[in-house]
Amino acid sequence: MTQEEMQLKQLRAARAARVKKFLRFMPRRTNVHKYPVLKWFATSIRQRDFLWTFRTKAAIPALYAGCILTFMPLYGIQLALALALAFLLKANLPILVGLQLISNPLTILPIYYIAYQIGRFFVMIFGVEGPHLNMQELDLLLRSFRSGDWGANVEYLLMVFALTNLGGAIIGTFVGTVLSVMYKIGAYEVSVTYEKIRKFQQQRAVTHNKETTTTEFHAQQHPENNDRKDI
């Protein structure tokens, strides 16, 4: 084994270790039954190979859909929507679900606030004025929405919800694009590494076959050497 081949195999092992470490926080075939919502469809999920492949055709849709979904004000129903999108788009389920961890009780308030401001700024480009909203008002709206105490704020709440969804979709599309480019670059580097290792293995196999053929040829040309060995 050459030094270059050894380095390539070490690089491949390091990448595999990073992937395994990352997958600890994602659903897998062995533990999908432990996740809320997903556990109700565990048998069906395990049988769908396209939900578990990390090929580009399944990973890229998962990155886009997962990023858009996690930045939209849909906290609480994200896992159900992520599962539906995974089936609909034939996308990678671990990536789609794992991205939903971005929005959690500690991050939803700043995420939604930024999403709302971006959505508000976007519609202002077209001459539509959205209501001003600060962090305290957003927190109050979220509490009212969860409790169902909408009162006379239904129209205002719907406007905020729509603008936050718009902003979340914009952020998610941008982040999804960045992650997709990074994923494609990583996938290309992995394919190049595997191809180089495969070529090294083929060259070694050819060399071994040539050596074996040469040895057999010499043995046929000089049978007396074999007789001497027997003696």
The neighbour count for residue 70, using CB atoms within 10 Å, is 28
Where are the strands (E) in the chain, listed by range? none
Q: Which two tokens stand for residue 47?
A: 């049988």
Question: Tens of pLDDT along 11-28?
Answer: 556 655 666 666 676 777
Say how far apart CA 202 and CA 197 lie, in whole Å. 9
Find the mean pLDDT for residues 153-169.
Answer: 84
Find the mean pLDDT for residues 108-118.
Answer: 90
Q: Which residue has the higher pLDDT, 190 or 94?
A: 94
Say how far apart CA 2 and CA 11 lie, in whole Å. 14
pLDDT confidence of 220, banded at 50, 70, 90? low
80-108: b (≥16 Cβ within 10 Å) or e: ebbbebbeebbbbbbbbbbbbebbeeeeb
- For the entire predicted model, the pTM comes to 0.74
pLDDT number for residue 19 = 60
Q: Is the pLDDT of residue 105 over 60?
A: yes
The neighbour count for residue 132, using CB atoms within 10 Å, is 8
pLDDT number for residue 222 = 56
